[in-house]
Amino acid sequence: MEGKDAPGFIVLSRDRGGWRDRARAYAVVVDGEQVARIKRGERVEMPVASGRHQVMMRINWGTSQTLDVDVRPGELVELACTTGRSQIGAGYIGLSRL
């Protein structure tokens, strides 16, 4: 499907490295709603309406920063999450655009 009503996709990859959270899944939150979970080494594709979206990750007490992403119709916006540097709160999970 093409045109202004075509969805775009947010594609998220999680690295395989690190010991912290190696057996736990991170929640993927888009526009305040949990839309997926991602385990170590996985990749998820989430269809979204074209336009601006806020993306963040969370697990229990830890979160990532919130990224604002603009998605055009048919576009794949690729993001990556990693084990962050903080032991609690924002920064517990790293989230960046590729």
For residues 26 and 37, give the distance between their C-alpha atoms in angstroms, rounded to a whole number.
5
The domain defined by 8-87 folds into Immunoglobulin-like (2.60.40)
pLDDT tens digits, one per residue of 78-95: 999 998 888 888 899 999
Q: Where are the domains of the chain?
A: 8-87
Fill in the amino acid letter for 12. Answer: L
| pLDDT tens sequence across 26-85 | 999 999 999 999 999 999 999 999 999 999 999 998 999 999 999 999 999 999 999 888
What are the angstrom distances between the C-alpha of 98 and each of 1, 2, 3, 62?
25, 24, 25, 22
In this prediction the pTM is 0.91
Whether residue 1 has pLDDT greater than 80: no
- What's the per-residue H, E or C state across 1-69? CCCCCCCEEEEEEECCCCCCCCCCCEEEEECCEEEEEECCCCEEEEEECCEEEEEEEEECCEECCCEEE
* Mean pLDDT estimate for the chain: 93
Backbone angles phi, psi at 40, to 5 degrees: -55, 130
